[in-house]
Amino acid sequence: MKQTKQLFYIGAAFLLFLMVAMPVKADSPPVPPSKESLIAAWEEKISEHPDTVRFEKTKQEGVYAFETTLFPYQGRLKVLNTLIQDRDVSEYEYMYYDYDMEDDSGYIGAVETELLDVQDQKSFFKKYPYSSQAWANFSILFFPNTEQVWMTRSDWNAYVKRENDVSSSDEMGSCVPQKKDYSKLIATWLPIVFLLVFLGFLFLFSRKQREKYDLSFERQKQSVDKQQEGLDMAKEGLSIQKEQLQLLKDILEHVKK
């Protein structure tokens, strides 16, 4: 019985372990991006662009040594402000017409800058209108919840194209018999199968132990019955001896008379 109790406790502990260890899917809300992540992504996009000749931080906070062939400029670039808004509630979505964001949600980030060594920026960018538009694209980044990374317009367009290609491929593939993926099914049911096998083994073992206990109890009972029978026979023998002694006593008394 002691071993059966131990196995019962082991089985209960195993069941508790499975309940805790089995993954539970929960849709956690997306983490909103930080302004630091926006600045870091913006710095990376500019420094990696093929038109960028020089892009280095200076000792002055928010000011960079900047040289580009996108338009004729070599001088200082200063970050004036950063703006991050939820795309679903943004009041300025019209400013981001380059992004086809109808089928996704996320955050819109803008980095507002100033070319410190340009006297009149309005006239400067009016002089280079196409370069101005290309430069503006560097200032607007999008952070889709599905990817959790900052993207430029070109990155976003490539992402949308890739998603559309995958969707089209899935739609075409749905008409063709596909090989079933049993990995999720196995991951879900394998612990349950192990648990059922373990409980079945525990049940059979407990039953066998009970049968052994019943057999042992029956044998002990038979042994006690035999001992009781022996005691009864001994008691009966003593009674006979007592009667014989009494008879001898009576004979002796009769002889003495």
- H/E stretch holding 132 reads helix 129-139
Same domain for 232 and 156?
no
Instruction: Decide: 226 and 234 in contact? Cβ < 8 Å.
Output: no
In terms of average pLDDT, the best of 62-71, 140-149, 235-244 is 62-71
- Summarize pLDDT for 239-252 with one digit per residue, the tens: 888 887 878 877 87
The reported pTM is: 0.53
DSSP letter at 10? Answer: H
- Summarize pLDDT for 201-212 with one digit per residue, the tens: 777 877 777 777
Same domain for 72 and 152?
yes
The separation between the first and the last C-alpha atoms of the chain, rounded to the nearest angstrom, is 71
Domain end position, chosen among 118, 151, 171: 171
Domain range for 200: 1-26+183-257
The answer for residues whose C-beta is within 8 angstroms of residue 140's C-beta and 6 or more apart is 95, 96, 98, 99, 108, 109, 110, 152, 153
**Across all residues in the chain, what is the average pLDDT?**
77
DSSP letter at 22? Answer: S
Same domain for 19 and 42?
no
Q: Encoding tokens for residue 226?
A: 């035999």
Task: List, in sequence order, every residue forming a beta bridge with 73; answer none if it has no partner.
Answer: 68
Number of separate domains in the chain: 2
Same domain for 68 and 153?
yes
Q: What is residue 103's predicted lDDT score, i.e. its pLDDT?
A: 47
Instruction: Decide: 152 and 137 in contact? Cβ < 8 Å.
Output: yes
In this structure, is residue 178 part of a structural domain?
no
Give backbone dihedrals phi and psi of 118, rounded to 5 degrees, phi first: -110, 125
In this structure, is residue 177 part of a structural domain?
no
Same domain for 55 and 166?
yes
Same domain for 6 and 42?
no
- Summarize pLDDT for 92-137 with one digit per residue, the tens: 444 444 445 444 578 889 999 999 999 898 899 899 988 888 888 8
Same domain for 100 and 206?
no
Same domain for 57 and 110?
yes
Domain end position, chosen among 171, 193, 225: 171
